[in-house]
Amino acid sequence: MQSIPQTEATFVNVGAPKAQPNQQILKPATPFPGRVLIVEDEAELAEVLEYNLMRSGFDVVIAADGLEACRLIGREKPDLILLDLMLPLLDGWEICRMLRTHEDPLMARIPIIMLSAMGTAADRLKGYHLGADLYLPKPYVIKEVVLKTRQLIEKRHEYLALTAKMTAFERWDSLQENWQQVLFHELKNQLMIISGMARRLSDEGSLTRTSAQGYVSHIQKSSHYLETLAKNYLLVRRLEENSYQLQGESVRLCILFEELDALFTPVAQQSSCNLRFASVGDESLQLHPVGIKIILSSLIDNALKYSSAGAEVVVSTEFSAHKGEIRVSDNGPGIAPAERQKVFEKFYRSGHQQNGPAGSGLGLYMARTLAESMGARLILAETSSPGCSFRLQFPRRRAECEPS
């Protein structure tokens, strides 16, 4: 166990302590409304407070000196502190000052009720000046302590809930802005392509049948791309409205791989690449069916786009009892070390593209966003062989691990 220096106090996170005569961690029999740290060097007073708080359903932690209190604050993260002032090793004034100046705002706002025999007006004012929420001189009324403890903890829980909602709102607002930028950026690009192809189609004098078919193909591809992009944008909006989690459904990998094979084999043939899907048997996963298809489509599309003729793209899997991994690997030119950390950034385009049209810089960005929304991770793995290996990693639920 980490030792606590006798000359300096700090709030630290350490392992569970050995049993000490002056420190107990008691658990209530019923669900508790909050955790209370009692910092009191008089054992009888601490026991009376502990007994009454436990009867009211609170989880109780006791420290008998100032340094022990600092250690327990860092480890237990109490919802409220009942703080005596005249303590061994480190007094309550200093504990209060340290807590109120803590760098973590949630720690710094832990409610403090000072309980002290020092009951002069000057002492009370000093306590409030240092940041105490309440100052009760000894002898205090136990019922009042319990009541004020409950009220202050309820206010803290309300504050924490409000903070969580504000954080979620800010994240949602930021994501909305990002995706609108993505949508409008690509809308402009693809409309320029469609407009250019349409102008060429209108030039009847120099138009051949072959070139006309090529222009029509470009228009169809751009239209399909915009349709897909719009669907993905709406999907991201729905997942954000559902607390950033895409709801999982049973997805049979063999069927998913068959759909992807049918979709991308023609693309691979046009690029003179070999696309291969490893056998997965009858494996099923609890993932969002549209989300996983978009992710794998983006990875396969990227691999084919950046690979030269004759390259091989392999989609494979690896499973253990607790996690699964889907890999999209290729033996193409790979990604330069300086770019490996940037490929998931919005609008980022690799400078080492070998084949195909310029990328939009959106595929990997959307893929990682969707992966995180399904509770998964999308990484670019380090490999000793040439090429890239993107890996979608996700936890396996118990039902997925049981034989059907």
pLDDT of residue 366: 77
Position 205 confidence tier, pLDDT thresholds 50, 70, 90: low
Identify the weakest region by mean pLDDT among 182-196, 266-280, 283-297, 319-333. 182-196
Mean pLDDT of 35-47: 95
The pLDDT of residue 199? 77
Under the banding of pLDDT at 50, 70 and 90, the label for residue 144 is very high
Specify the pLDDT at position 361: 60
Query: Which tops the pLDDT comparison, 32 or 385?
Result: 385
Q: What mean pLDDT do residues 118-144 have?
A: 93
With a CB cutoff of 8 Å and minimum separation 6, the contacts of 117 are 86, 137, 138
| pLDDT of res. 279 | 83
CA distance 338 to 183: 28
**pLDDT for the residue 343:** 82
Residue by residue, DSSP assigns 370-383 as: HHHHTT-EEEE---
pLDDT at residue 16 greater than cutoff 50: no
Residue range 352-375, pLDDT digits in tens: 544 444 455 667 877 888 888 888
Amino acid 305: pLDDT = 81
The top-scoring range by mean pLDDT among 70-84, 223-237, 267-281 is 70-84
pLDDT digits (tens, 9 = 90+) for 157-183: 998 888 888 887 776 676 666 666 666
pLDDT (mean) for 246-254: 80
Q: 59-63, 206-210, 259-263 — which is least confidently predicted? A: 206-210
CA–CA dist 317, 393 (Å, integer): 10
Residue 213 has what pLDDT? 79
Domain 25-140 is in which class?
alpha beta
Helix/strand/coil (H, E, C) string of 186-205?
A: HHHHHHHHHHHHHHHHCCHH
Over residues 304-310, mean pLDDT: 84
Answer whether residue 196 shows pLDDT above 60: yes
Domain ranges of the chain: 25-140, 167-244, 245-404
- pLDDT value at residue 5: 39
State mean pLDDT over 254-282. 86
Contact call for residues 386 and 331 (beta carbons, < 8 A): yes
Give the confidence band of 7 by pLDDT, cuts at 50, 70, 90: very low
Q: What is the pTM of this model?
A: 0.47
Per-residue pLDDT tens digits for 283-301: 888 888 878 888 898 899 8
> Taken in order 182, 185, 189, 191, is the CA torsion positive or negative?
positive
CATH architecture of 245-404: 2-Layer Sandwich (3.30)
Percent of the chain with pLDDT over 90: 37
pLDDT at 309: 86
pLDDT at res. 17: 41
Q: How many CB atoms lie within 10 A of CB 140?
A: 17
pLDDT range class, residue 4, cuts 50, 70, 90:
very low
Answer with the residue of higher pLDDT: 100 or 237.
100
Give residue 11's pLDDT.
Answer: 57
The mean predicted confidence, pLDDT, of the chain is 80
Mean pLDDT of the region 183-204: 72
CATH code, 167-244: 1.10.287
pLDDT attached to residue 24:
44
Contacts of 114 (CB under 8 A, 6+ apart): 83, 84, 85, 92, 96, 127, 132, 134, 135, 136
Residues in the chain: 404
More confident residue, 220 or 389: 389
Mean pLDDT on 375-396: 86
